[in-house]
Amino acid sequence: MSTDNRIIYVAGNPDLYPLEYYDPESQTYQGAIPAFLAEFAQEYGYDLRYFQPGKEDRRAHWADNQQVDLISGCLAGERYAHTAGEPVLLFSAEADGEEVPYLLHVAQVAPGRFQSDLRDYAARTSQGQWTGSLIEAAGEPPSQQLPLAAWGAAIAFLLLAAALACTIYRLRQERKRQARLRLLDPETGLGTQAALEDAFSRLERDQKRKFYYLICLRLNLERVGYLRGQDLANSLLLHASGLLKEAAGPGDTAAQLGDGRLVALKQFPSEEGAARWAEEILKEVHAFSFGGSALGIWGASVGICPLETAYLNFRQALFHAGQCALAASRSGAGCQLWQPQLDRASQERWQLLADFEKGLQREEFLLYLQFFVDAATFRVVGGEALSRWKHPRFGFLSPGRYIPLLEEAGRIRSLDLYGLEKTCAFLEELDRLQVKNFFISCNFARTTFSAADFVEQCLQIIGRYSFTRKLLILEVTESQEIGRQAAEQMLQNILALREFGVRVIFDDFGMGFSSFHDLQAYPMDGLKLDKELVDNMWTKQGRIILNALVETGHRMGLTILAEGVEEERQIEVLQSLHCDVFQGFRFFVPLPAEEAKSRILGEAASPHAPRDLPREGALDETI
């Protein structure tokens, strides 16, 4: 039977031995349930794949983000988002007088007939078959010779099932106790996300639901910490938390969700009342001072999502409130109320986030290259690795549709590392084809680059491929801000990666939040000038700034790359300033990987192809 369009992604339970558990040696899920699912898949023609196996229980996360079709290893009372119909019963065991059923939850995104096929197969699987499967999974194969051994195996199964049920029942009670303890954030005294979600769920059938609003106060703590110090960022968080705590009335819930997000679930008679309350909170946050210095209006923004819009899913409502806060921050309005006209764009962003991990698994993100050319000869010398998302519903997406969204949601790291993997594979292919002088740069958000395990992750990926390490350039983007501790970690990461042989440059340099501070703080191999600098070169101030950056970079031994070059007159000015490398639509648009490879091979075959980059800067010295 064909398995086209019948791939099923399963979120497994890593700690339900012997029913289902993660085996670190094979890095797979083992046990009675995986065996059951494998037999089911073979009979019905499905391709079942456990989604990102690991020792951490990620089932709730995968369900929330609609990234799997099936949630496995479940007990009664466990709830997961976006499931369809009643759970599928595998079997039950009694413990302490309580019947403990073991279940599977089918997600709403699963293929149409999958649930009915699964229910049919589960109904045909007898208790005796589960007995044999469990005993085999526990490492006690039944004897085929003595009838008494079969009885002993059955008794062993009952004892095993009862003991298992008792253990799980106790674990469930302990988890409930721990969940109660997690309802309060010790740092701010506000509730946690669990407390907020619990309060939200209690409103599902409440007639007063239409008078409630999710209000997201977004504090830019990373920026405050970077520019004004971590003490100020911490004080701002406590100050804003105190404001929400004071303003929360009976029946309201205020929570601290991390990443500078404070959220209130609060009742108001009207949208106007909610907006006035939010603006008053925002005004008091902006008036906050530390050491006699006022914070300023760039410190916070607010998004308001009314629950009368019939959001049934907590995560989705929270997402839309956060999106309104981000829109308010970008527009400078300070406060943004959800409006019907915003829903379509917001729903699309929500769906893209939900589809992201599956997109990586299915390799829907395609590698593109935009070439760099020598500023003097215009010959191709390298390329920048870019991505395009071939989304099954929204079609062919450019990076502007999904990269800012992933950065805002804190999920850009996965795409960054995926891009590194694709880049290394491409460099290995060029090396196999005897192309030895073509470099490729790969983009990384600062939050990715400053992670404590970033170097380890990079070296693991790079180590899987064979190519000259100096041909790989890591570009640190200006799109995200990081705190001082993260900045210190980024410095250590840069040093370690350069020691390993790869090179590091700043992307979009000159128009971000740090610029010259970064030149002092980080050892780099080159600078890529921001397109806005290139576009503004016609003003007196723009020419002075551009000239200063190029001259400073050259004095520090850095190679200068100019992006966004689209006009002949820009080329003349940049050449007069002695820029080294150009990139832009004047020369090449981004090309699919295969097309780019054909062009590179054609360049390599030319007797005039340059051996090195155009000047003896830091990049040249290592080629």
The amino acid present at 108, given as its one-letter code, is Q
Supply the DSSP symbol for 87.
P
57 φ/ψ angles, rounded to the nearest 5 degrees: -80, 105
Q: Give the domain ranges of the chain.
A: 7-178, 193-338, 372-379+411-622
Identify the helix (H) or strand (E) that includes residue 217: strand 212-219
How much is the pLDDT for 262? 93
- For the ranges 121-135, 328-342, 444-458, the maximum mean pLDDT occurs at 444-458
- For residue 451, pLDDT over 70 is answered with yes
pLDDT tens sequence across 547-557: 888 888 898 88
Question: Which of the pair, 236 or 145, is modelled with greater confidence?
Answer: 236
Class of domain 193-338: alpha beta
Question: Which of the pair, 197 or 518, is modelled with greater confidence?
Answer: 197
Question: Which of the pair, 329 or 430, is modelled with greater confidence?
Answer: 430
How much is the pLDDT for 72? 95
Helix segments in 46-192, DSSP class H: 59-64, 114-123, 127-137, 147-181
How much is the pLDDT for 289? 66
* Sequence-ordered strand ranges (E) for 496-555: 503-509, 526-529
How much is the pLDDT for 293? 52
Q: Which residue, among 558, 573, 566, has the nearest Cα to 622 in the 3D structure?
A: 558
- For residue 117, pLDDT over 70 is answered with yes
- For residue 153, pLDDT over 60 is answered with no
Mean pLDDT calculated for residue range 130-134: 76
| CA dist., res. 166 & res. 533, Å (int) | 67
How much is the pLDDT for 176? 54
- Whose structure tokens read 């000047």? 615
pTM above 0.75, yes or no: no
* Lowest mean pLDDT across 76-85, 145-154, 451-460, 499-508: 145-154
- For residue 199, pLDDT over 80 is answered with yes
How much is the pLDDT for 143? 40
pLDDT tens sequence across 352-368: 988 999 999 999 999 99
How much is the pLDDT for 425? 96
Read off the pLDDT band of 612 (50, 70, 90).
very low
- For residue 401, pLDDT over 70 is answered with yes
Average pLDDT value over all residues in the chain: 82
Read off the pLDDT band of 308 (50, 70, 90).
confident
- For residue 309, pLDDT over 70 is answered with no
Cβ count near 520 (within 10 Å): 8
- Read off the tokens for 89: 């019963």
Please count the CA atoms within 13 angstroms of the CA of 577 that sit on its side-chain side.
29
- For residue 163, pLDDT over 80 is answered with no
402 φ/ψ angles, rounded to the nearest 5 degrees: -130, -25
The amino acid present at 199, given as its one-letter code, is A
Cis amide bond preceding 590, omega within 30 = no
Supply the DSSP symbol for 563.
-
Question: Which of the pair, 340 or 400, is modelled with greater confidence?
Answer: 400
R_g of the chain, CA atoms, integer Å: 29
pLDDT tens sequence across 171-182: 555 555 545 556
* Lowest mean pLDDT across 33-47, 329-343, 561-575: 329-343
How much is the pLDDT for 485? 80
| CA dist., res. 383 & res. 361, Å (int) | 25
Question: Do residues 353 and 323 touch, judged by C-beta distance below 8 A?
Answer: no
- For residue 161, pLDDT over 70 is answered with no
- For residue 622, pLDDT over 50 is answered with no
The amino acid present at 594, given as its one-letter code, is E
Question: Do residues 13 and 72 touch, judged by C-beta distance below 8 A?
Answer: yes
Mean pLDDT calculated for residue range 128-148: 59
Mean pLDDT calculated for residue range 571-585: 91
Mean pLDDT calculated for residue range 580-596: 93
Residues 6+ apart with CB under 8 A from 366: 387, 388, 389, 390, 592, 593
How much is the pLDDT for 310? 55
Q: Which CATH superfamily is domain 7-178 in?
A: Periplasmic binding protein-like II (3.40.190.10)
Q: What is the architecture, at CATH level 2, of domain 372-379+411-622?
A: Alpha-Beta Barrel (3.20)
pLDDT tens sequence across 332-390: 778 888 776 666 677 788 789 889 999 999 999 999 999 999 999 999 999 999 999 99
